[in-house]
Amino acid sequence: MEAGFDGVELHGATGYLLQQFVSPHSNLRTDEFKNRNLFALKLIDEVKNVIGKHATKPFLVGYRFSPEEPETPGITMKEAFTLIDDLIRADLDYLHIATTNAWAKARRGIVSEKSRTELIAEYVGGRVPLIGVGSIHTPDDAAQVLEKGKTDFVALGRAIVVDPHWVEKANDDKEETIIQHLTKNDQQKAVIPTPLWKLILEVKGWFPVKNIEEEII
């Protein structure tokens, strides 16, 4: 609030602390926090308490969550729905699905041909605004998540790293000028820290990167 932001997003996804409490894989506690959603709910309460004391204008609170984990035991779609219910009752301003592919299907807990994004949007049922994300590279990709995925918003991650002017180009109907890949010489231009740059080059398929021979890796 002091820095002038309009809200905060609590990161309850991708293995960070909040997800570690929610996860049956990592939460082996025997105290009150064996209730796996409790830590996140207490944190939300405290953040809202601070907002109530210090905010001079509306200040949003969102929550990002991973709908599943690959481990067994691990979070399943069914357990994600229980978390969603608790988060909605906590009166958040929005929820943000964390997935690398918006169209990936559920691993377990629910049998369906629909994607996680579609299943979650249906379950939320308009009770809270929902952000979809995952392999959105073009404006058409974003439109699909909004229309077919039924989310209220889309988030961009890797696409913005590749082209920081993605949104402006989309708004100006210049989507053909959107850059859709990095090259191995783009680290400084893209202002990417060296540890992250090394991962980008090492993890094939994570970021679209052209090598010297102009092939996508």
**Is residue 214 scored above 80 in pLDDT?**
no
Same domain, 92 and 162: yes
Return mean pLDDT, the chain: 94
What was the pLDDT predicted at 210?
Answer: 85
- The pLDDT value given to residue 27: 97
Give me the helices (H) in 72-182, please: 77-89, 116-124, 139-147, 158-162, 166-171
Q: List the domain range (segments joined by +) for residue 196.
A: 181-217
26 lies in the same domain as 91: yes
Q: Is residue 119 part of a domain?
A: yes
Q: What's the CATH code of the domain at 126?
A: 3.20.20.70
Question: Residue 2 falls within a domain, yes or no?
Answer: no
Give how far the C-alpha of residue 159 lies from the chain's centroid of Cα atoms, to the nearest Å.
14
Active site residue 16: yes
Q: Which of 16, 63, 94, 123 is catalytic?
A: 16
In a domain, 1, yes or no: no
Cα end-to-end distance, the chain, whole Å: 41
Handedness of CA 170, 175, 177, 183 (dihedral sign): positive
Residues 117 and 34 occupy one common structural domain:
yes
Mark whether 125 and 35 lie in a shared domain: yes
State mean pLDDT over 175-197.
Answer: 93
Task: For residues 148-153, give the mean pLDDT.
Answer: 96
Residues 21 and 125 occupy one common structural domain: yes
pTM for this entry: 0.90
Q: Is residue 156 part of a domain?
A: yes
d(CA 91, CA 72): 31
Of 44, 62, 83, residue with least CA distance to 5: 62
Shared domain for 105 and 139, answered yes or no, is yes
Q: Is residue 70 assigned to a domain? A: yes
Cβ neighbours of residue 161 closer than 8 Å, sequence gap 6 or more: 182, 190, 192, 207
Q: Are residues 146 and 186 located together in one domain of the fold?
A: no
159 and 205 belong to one structural domain: no
The number of folded domains in the chain is 2
Which phi and psi (to 5°) does residue 136 adopt?
-95, 105
Does pLDDT of 217 surpass 80? no
Amino acid 192 reads I
Q: Do residues 115 and 213 both lie within one domain?
A: no
139 and 212 part of one domain:
no
Amino acid sitting at position 73:
P
Q: Residue 65: name the closest of 108, 29, 36, 33 by CA.
A: 36
Whether residues 19 and 107 share a domain: the answer is: yes
Distance CA 109, CA 107 (A): 7
Instruction: Answer whether 24's CB lies under 8 Å from 73's CB.
Output: yes
**Does one domain contain both 171 and 186?**
no
137-152: average pLDDT: 95
Name the band, by pLDDT with cuts 50, 70 and 90, for residue 119. Answer: very high
Residue 153 covered by a domain: yes
Mean predicted confidence (pLDDT) in 171-181: 94
| Residue reference for tokens 């249906």 | 122
Residue 161 within any structural domain of the chain: yes
